[in-house]
Structure 1
Amino acid sequence: MTDQRESTSHGNINLYINLYPETRRKKDEDRIDDVEHDDGASSPYFESNEKSKSGQVEDKAKKRQQRQTLLSLGSDGHLSTRKPLTNPTKRSDAARKPLKEIAAETKTLLPGLLATRPDVPDKGYLYTDGDAPILDKKYCPGLPATKVRVINSDSIDAALALGSSAMNNRHPCVLNMANANSAGGGWQHGALAQEEALCYRTSLSRTLKRHYYPLPAKGGIYSPYVLVIRNNMKSGHDLLDLRNPAALPVISAISVAAVCMPQTTAGANGVLTYRLGQDKRLMEEKMRVILRIAARNRHRQLVLGAFGCGAFANPKDEVVNMWASVLKEAEFGGGWWSDVVFAVLDDGRGNLQTFKNSLDGMMV
């Protein structure tokens, strides 16, 4: 890689101190159970995992919830205190928890959580055009051929189901189908495509440095360490147990942008194809770049997707055939991967069935 720039920011440090009810007998006997650091303006809240069975049980559950005091350490060295935000609704009620609020809370939580995980630096490495040359076979691990799997799943869930590779302790690597011009796409404004879904749930956004944009046509960003802090949207984007940050899972990501809104032609059977050969060739090269970045960084477990087949309107039948063709190229043969999974959510566009029909069970 020729460019490994990164940026950092500094601000006030907020200490999140959870004070359990049974320890609050008098102020000088308070016990500090958890300390987290954050440079955001608003604080998180932690909810009891207990579920109310009735109004009476709900009262008891409220008493069992953690109390929290926020100490804010300013740049002048002075401490101040304030009460954290309270959650007016159940976290599982996604309709009442707008995605913009989820994004804001994620941004607030991440600095403190990452401060407790020095093994998860928020680094992203830019691959410019030409930084991912053809793979050298002498570095191929020679793994047994594996079956491609196509599943109806969120990308993160698919990666977590794989677990880390036992052979080299590398994390599963997820394809982030990125916006070429905006880091994280529209995640801070409540948009919901695959990239935004990744950002709501993880630290990916902190690795997508603004000065890397626009992304190179034949390049992307490699994020070796991405911390997962939330469940999926179907689960209401519930936070994982943040009281033990060391237990939070980690994945890796490769962010590459598909061709956006290519011209297409409909055949006699109604199947769309690329009108311009240059768009098809560029998409194929992007696929090669994704696979090369993963292989060069010794990732043996890949979670790919319906690259460009959503809002970017690439023709799904051609895209799936291109994936099949590229994966079968000699460069990528010989056993680079132990798992190749296509996580394609069934969103009514027909992508899931198209990918299943062409890729599921294919040997690579």
Structure 2
Amino acid sequence: MNTFNISRAKLRESNVEVFRDTMDRIKTIPKLWEKAEMNRRDTIFFPPEKEIDPLQPRYEKQSAIIVSGKRTAEAAMNYRGKHIALLNFASAWTPGGGVLSGSSAQEESLCRISTLYPALQGNPLSAPFYDYHHSLSSYDYSDAVLFTPDVIFFKSDGTIPEMLDEEDWLHADVITSAAPNLQYERWNEMTKARQEEIRNLFLSRIDRILTIAASAQADVLILGAFGCGAFHNPPDVVAKCFKDVIQSYSHYFETIEFAVFTTPLDDSNYRVFKATLHT
């Protein structure tokens, strides 16, 4: 079913029902319950000041850079059997963002189809991420990150997710990071100094994300238009920052895919990322 065949209100209702079903299945299917408990125990909080060793490059060939119009987990499904890490475009304040109210953003979509949410919500190991960001007076947020290894994605990543056969379940590490939030600022009205500050924030945050994925020895890294949706960051700026940073990690991963979800009404972020990263 296509998103455009149902109203926003109906889609929210459907999203809420899918999420409830996901939580019910985690509680009632032993393998999912055990994995959710493991995800809770194994989640790691990296405060902004903590240094991380990316280890040594593992590939002679440079990483293949792919830009697709897919959703995050949808893209990751193509790499089953490899060690996958993917980026969760997180709310800095609320575990799972608006998943309880049926939001359709990227983090919420991930939580609706996997064992990720129990690792974020009500977990004392994840709480410092949210507590730290609540303590800040800026919407720039920080380089603080949560790392949750071996999350199971057991539903399809589509408009109306469906349960997958167990042999099709996807295992992936999830890196939870919040982009700067420009909802209350306009890029074109910023001073040059403020624009440069935002660029530097992205360079630092992206480097942090790639360092953590490299230290986990992921073969495949799924990224995307980080902060270019609800947080209103300019896609050309974000894509250029990604391009600059990944040059230093070109031999750490077999593949880096930017899953930039497109719809029949809007493929603007996809076009910008494709033009930037393929030149």
Q: Which one of the candidate residues 173, 192, 197 is aligned to 1:252?
A: 173
Give the aligned partner of residue 274 of structure 2.
356
Task: Specify the SS of the correspondent of 1:238.
Answer: coil
RMSD (Å), alpha carbons? 2.6
* 1:1-364 correspondence runs (5 A): 98-115=14-31, 118=34, 121-123=38-40, 124-133=43-52, 135-136=54-55, 139-165=56-82, 170=83, 172-208=84-120, 209=123, 211-212=127-128, 213-214=130-131, 217-234=142-159, 236-241=160-165, 245=166, 248-261=169-182, 263-266=185-188, 275-329=194-248, 332-333=249-250, 335-347=251-263, 348=266, 350-360=268-278
The residue type paired with residue 233 of structure 1 is G
How much has 1:214 moved relative to structure 2? 3.9
Distance 1:114 1:125, change over 3 A: farther
CA–CA distance in 2 between the matches of 1:357 and 1:253?
A: 27
How much has 1:111 moved relative to structure 2? 2.7
The residue type paired with residue 156 of structure 1 is A
How much has 1:163 moved relative to structure 2? 1.8
Distance 1:254 1:274, change over 3 A: farther
Contact residue 155 and residue 169 of structure 2 kept, 8 A: no
Task: Specify the SS of the correspondent of 2:103.
Answer: coil
How much has 1:247 moved relative to structure 2? 5.7
The residue type paired with residue 81 of structure 2 is S
The residue type paired with residue 118 of structure 2 is R
Higher relative contact order structure (alpha carbons within 8 Å, sequence separation ≥ 6): 2
The residue type paired with residue 343 of structure 1 is A
Contact residue 148 and residue 359 of structure 1 kept, 8 A: yes
Q: Give a deviation string over 1:26-61, Cα, whole Å, max 9, x none.
A: xxxxxxxxxxxxxxxxxxxxxxxxxxxxxxxxxxxx
Contact residue 52 and residue 212 of structure 2 kept, 8 A: no
Contact residue 12 and residue 104 of structure 2 kept, 8 A: no
How much has 1:276 moved relative to structure 2? 3.6
Unaligned runs of 5+ in 1: 1-93
Task: Specify the SS of the correspondent of 2:29.
Answer: helix
How much has 1:132 moved relative to structure 2? 4.0
Distance 1:227 1:238, change over 3 A: same
Q: Give a deviation string over 1:143-164, Cα, whole Å, max 9, x none.
A: 3113310001011011110122
Task: Specify the SS of the correspondent of 1:98.
Answer: helix
Task: Specify the SS of the correspondent of 1:221.
Answer: strand
Unaligned runs of 5+ in 2: 1-9, 134-141
Q: Give a deviation string over 1:90-138, Cα, whole Å, max 9, x none.
A: xxxx7596211111111111133354675672232111112243634xx
